[in-house]
Amino acid sequence: MGRTERKRSGPAAAVPAAVASVLGNDVLLAEILLRLDLPTWLVRAALVSRRWFRGASDPAFLRHFRALHPPRVLALHANAVGFGRGETRCLPVPQPPGLAAAAPSRRCAARNSATAATAACWYNDEELAAEFSLLQSGVWGVARSTVTELPQRIFDTMLGYILGLDLVTASFFTVQLPADIWNSTSFRLSRPQQSGLYLIDAKGFQLQVCRGDGMGQWALVDTISVPKVCGHLNVRRWVPDDAQTAPVSVLAAGENAEFVFLELVASGIVCCIQLSNRAVERVGVGLRMTEDFIRPLTMVWPPVFPVLN
């Protein structure tokens, strides 16, 4: 009997040791945590132990995690023609079960969204003026203003550049655009984690992503075939009846060019594409959204971890 008990206890005792050798290895633990997919699960994993907390909240690990799993888009805050005059809505994006409860309500109003700055601009055919105030630590700062001279009839002329406002220095700046998108009406800009700009535009059914240095030099970094990545959406019509209308419209882009919202014009389908892994989700159809006020609402990043006692 004693010999039988020793045989049973030998393999049983080896199991915890094998588990400890894996979970006690910080490199292997990081590989396991990288496969959790959602930041919400990452926070839950951090509650297992102090070792897991240190691994999940390590800045280097979080950068790697974000590269593999960009913050998910929870909703699309949009101004839509069919919603009524001056009304905005939050249009939830389909979510996995772990995030379904976190998505904002479809009737969430714009005033409930967080605001980091407020600004007003004036143009009088000669000068553009801006007055703005920043929200920091819950307190609005003193209003600041700046003025710049612009060519006359700016809105009637294709100038080939974008005009930006630097909130830190309270000054305007310009960035030259690539010549082949001067006539585009739906290109969108995205801010990288470092310096420069991303520019995302659609050429027919081809999505193009360019990286700029902020000085007017642009380089093509990615191209995506929209019909190829959207094939599973069962799009019945790809070509608009009007031969002059572009078949794909870029509605909005996330920071660091992590995702982009597109409208497939002929079918009215609005979809979200994660550019890193080409994952595509349908947001809605027939939304008739205006292109001048569309703002994706994403998960908070970095994740908010509990404070250790």
- Confidence (pLDDT) at 114: 43
Q: What percent of the chain has pLDDT over 70?
A: 76
Distance CA 176, CA 214 (A): 8
Q: What per-residue confidence (pLDDT) applies to 155?
A: 52
Mean pLDDT of all residues in 268-287: 85
Higher pLDDT among residues 127 and 237, named by residue:
237
Which pLDDT band, with edges at 50, 70 and 90, does 284 fall under?
confident
Which of 10-14, 113-117, 265-269 has the lowest average pLDDT?
113-117
pTM of the model: 0.69
Phi-psi region of 274 (alpha: psi -120 to 50; beta: other; left: phi over 0): beta
- Amino acid letter at 27? V
β-bridge pairing 127-136 and 139-140: antiparallel
Instruction: State the pLDDT at residue 281.
Output: 86
A 10 A CB-CB count for 139 gives 7
Distances (CA, A) of 219 to 80, 88, 189, 279, 301: 34, 36, 14, 24, 28
Question: Above 60 in pLDDT, residue 7?
Answer: no
pLDDT in tens, 82-92: 444 455 667 77
> Domain coordinates of the chain in residue numbers?
2-68, 70-113+180-309, 114-176
Q: Which residue has the tokens 């969108």?
A: 188
Under 8 Å between Cβ of 256 and 198: yes
Residues 6 or more apart whose Cβ sits within 8 Å of residue 265: 240, 245, 246, 247, 248, 249
What pLDDT is stored for residue 226 in this prediction?
Answer: 96
pLDDT of residue 255: 86
Among 78-92, 118-132, 217-231, 259-273, name the one with the lowest average pLDDT. 78-92
- Predicted confidence (pLDDT) at residue 71 exceeds the cutoff of 50: yes
- The pLDDT tens digits of the residues spanning 194-242 come to 888 999 999 999 999 999 988 889 999 999 999 999 999 989 999 998 8
The whole-chain average pLDDT of the chain stands at: 78
For residue 292, give every residue at least 6 positions away whose Cβ sits within 8 Å of its Cβ, in sequence order, or none. Answer: 79
Which residues pair with residue 104 across a beta bridge? none
The mean pLDDT of 246-275, rounded to a whole number, is 90
String of DSSP letters for 241-308: SSTTS-SEEEEEE-GGG-EEEEEETTTTEEEEEETTTTEEEEEEES--EEEEEEEEEE--SS--PPPP
Strand pairing class (289-298; 139-140): unpaired
User: Best-predicted range by mean pLDDT among 67-71, 165-169, 175-179, 263-267?
Assistant: 263-267
What percent of the chain stands above pLDDT 90? 24
pLDDT tens digits along 29-48: 999 999 988 888 899 999 98
Looking at per-residue pLDDT, the higher value among 288 and 213 belongs to: 213
Question: How far is Cα 65 from Cα 189, in angstroms, rounded to an integer?
Answer: 24
